[in-house]
Chain A
């Protein structure tokens, strides 16, 4: 999948509340929109969110998008163990998942049925000076692994999701995206 450029890609991004999974979902959707694709983004919310896991579904497509809800995704970004338990079995055969190996034991990642890209997101973010940017590392890795949008489009879209008062954080986040992409190569 990484080799050819798909016209349609859906992804479930999941992790703990506070890991910024909704933020990178938005960022990916903006990048898709800015790259001229149709996009949808839908979060889970309410009761399910209070349980401690958050997830969202993003679809990027060259044709108009039907269902914004995907039960069996083509790809996933998995930021913690409960999310792996929940979504890895649902991933389509030969699907791609980014697995945050800082918080998930690598042996738990399925490497036969699906393609798992293990990235120590928190570790890389720590080295960059802020473990809260683990989400950006993961998204960088995802974009590199799937080639759904150019990394530059994602970096350029940071201004869409980071409010003006935090503008000075954009270069750091861009670095985290790049580091993630490098880790996935």
Chain B
């Protein structure tokens, strides 16, 4: 490439400052990077970066603080909503969010997420659902689909034995303290745009002091699904979305929230 050609280049796409300029440790085709970026973009656009306190969880996203340059505290497995409660009650003027995976939020941390939402804590929750325990090597998650093979359900998840995959956005949407609960997917541009819109509303219900906001993001884990990234994206469309429908399950953001 000649120097002249470089001069003519126009910067069309950059990262927000809050997103670290570093190599990713996530696997090829993993959607955590997309989710991280959406959060980083929104915090920047909404002017929240300086006053954000981020609560990280256990799972692949435990290193979130390496990618989002924010004040952060690391919560024990599943406890991020309890930690976030303590943070928000201590610093009500700060913006507080948790970022949790399906094992963390929908299994070991079910009590914490349900009660945090039900109390209507003024925090936002980003829930990444990829139907598998990623960091520990691909075990069955509470959201693993029927028939899906994992290292702890090698014959495929069976309804009689393991029950049905748990639908968190619907559950959270049914709770009194929730102001906004929605589900989006990160498998294509259209869905990513919707995800960003939902995240924005979830963040706004906090900044407006309305209550609890929750967004579930259907995400790919090609490594543990043993698929190529393209196939994994397709699986979201053909297997996940039919079971985990996209959309808004509760939205009181226009009604002044909950008391």
The answer on direct contact between A and B (beta carbons under 8 Å) is: no
Which B residues form the contact surface with A (CB < 8 A)?
none
Which A residues form the contact surface with B (CB < 8 A)?
none
